Amino acid sequence: MKLLVLGGTAWLGHEVARQAVGRGHQVTCVTRGLSGPIPDGASHIQSDRDADHGLEAVSAVHWDAVLDVSRQPGHVKRAVRDLRSADYYVFVSSVSVYANHGPLGQDEDAPLLPPLESEVMETMETYGEAKAACEKAVLEGLGAERCMIARVGLIGGPGDIFGRTGYWPMRFANPSVEDGTVLVPNAPSLPVQVIDVRDLAAWLVQNCEGQLSGVYNATGEKHSFAEHIAAAREVAGHQGQLAVADAEWLHRHGVQEWAGPKSLPLWLSDPEWQGMNARSNMRAKGAGLVLRPLEETLRDTLEWEESTGIEKPRRAGLTKNEEAELIPELG
C-alpha cells in the first residue's frame, strides 16, 4: 500500500507511520519537520500546510490511503481538494467534537459542536469546533464511502509527552514522601478511558489496508478512577498509603484538574465533563479495534517514564516538592 501520512513527526502520526513501515507499506510523511524525526523506512517531504499549495509535491501521486492528524480546517479542506484521487482517507478527529460531555456511554450519534467557520483554529478553546469542521470537509468533500473518521479519546502509553498517563505509575513508583504516601483525589467512580497509542495506530493502519469507512469513537475501555489508580499502584508495586483529598480541599490548595502544572492528572470534578471519558467504543471494537489491558499500558508507560528520567519537566502532575508540601497539610 502507498500510504501518505499528513503528520508523522509527533506521537500518534509517528506510531502509525512506524507500524505501517513494519507491515511492509510504502510510507510518505508530510510535515514541516519541527516536531521530531519520522520513523526509519518512511520518506519525508518537508512542507508547510499553512501555504495554499503545501501539498503540491504529493498531489500528483496516486495514494492508496491518506491519514491526516491535523486540527486546522484549512489544512484539511486543501488536502481534500488536492488529494481527491486518493482511494481512501482517514481523518484522526477527537471526542472533543461532541457538544455534551455530561452523559455517560454516548455513541457516535450524539450531537456535535457547530463546525468552526474559520480556516484557522487560533486557540485550543475552539479545538472541538475545528475538528468538527475538519470532519465535515472530509465527509462532504470525499463522500462517506471512502473515508473514515476516528474520534479519538485520551491517548496513553509509552511516549506520552503530555504526562497524563505516565504520572500515576511514575508517582506510585517514586513517592514524594519517605513513608510512600501518595496524594489522590476523592473521585473513585469518575470514568477514565485511555486508548494505548500502539492499539490505536494498529487499528488505523489495519483500516487503511481494509479501507473501512464510517465514523467511530476510538476510545479505550472504561474504568473507574479507583480501578485506574489500583492498576497504576499494582504495576508500580506501591505499598504505601493513599492521602485522599476532596475536590474543595484540592481547589483551595491550587491543585488543577486533568493536566498541566500542579495538577492531579485525569481527575475531573465537574459532572458536566464526566462523560468525556465514558464514550461507547462498541462500534470500533465491532470493526476490529483490539485494546490491550490497562495494566500493560501503564507498565510500559512507567518504563518509558523511567527511561526518559523521572525528574524531567512534566506537562501534567505535581512535582515532588509540591506533593511533599501538600501531604502533611492534608493531615
Ligand X SMILES: NC(=O)c1ccc[n+]([C@@H]2O[C@H](COP(=O)([O-])OP(=O)(O)OC[C@H]3O[C@@H](n4cnc5c(N)ncnc54)[C@H](OP(=O)(O)O)[C@@H]3O)[C@@H](O)[C@H]2O)c1
Residues that bind ligand X (CB under 6 A): 7-13, 31-35, 48-50, 69, 71, 92, 94, 152, 154-155
**What's the CA angle centered on 115, arms 278 and 60, to 5 degrees?**
105
Return the beta strands (E) in 242-293 as ranges. 242-245, 256-258, 260-261, 263-265
Shortest separation between residue 181's beta carbon and ligand X, angstroms: 29
What does the alpha-carbon distance between residue 111 and residue 31 come to, in Å, rounded to a whole number?
32
By beta-carbon proximity to ligand X, the closer residue of 149 and 177 is 149
Shortest separation between residue 245's beta carbon and ligand X, angstroms: 25
By beta-carbon proximity to ligand X, the closer residue of 148 and 177 is 148
Neighbours of 120 (CB within 10 A): 12
By beta-carbon proximity to ligand X, the closer residue of 17 and 318 is 17
Question: Residue 301 CA to chain centroid, in angstroms?
Answer: 14
**What's the CA angle centered on 323, arms 320 and 329, to 5 degrees?**
145
Shortest separation between residue 319's beta carbon and ligand X, angstroms: 22
Do residues 102 and 40 touch, judged by C-beta distance below 8 A? no
By beta-carbon proximity to ligand X, the closer residue of 8 and 158 is 8
Shortest separation between residue 305's beta carbon and ligand X, angstroms: 16
Q: What is the identity of the amino acid at 65?
A: A
By beta-carbon proximity to ligand X, the closer residue of 88 and 91 is 91
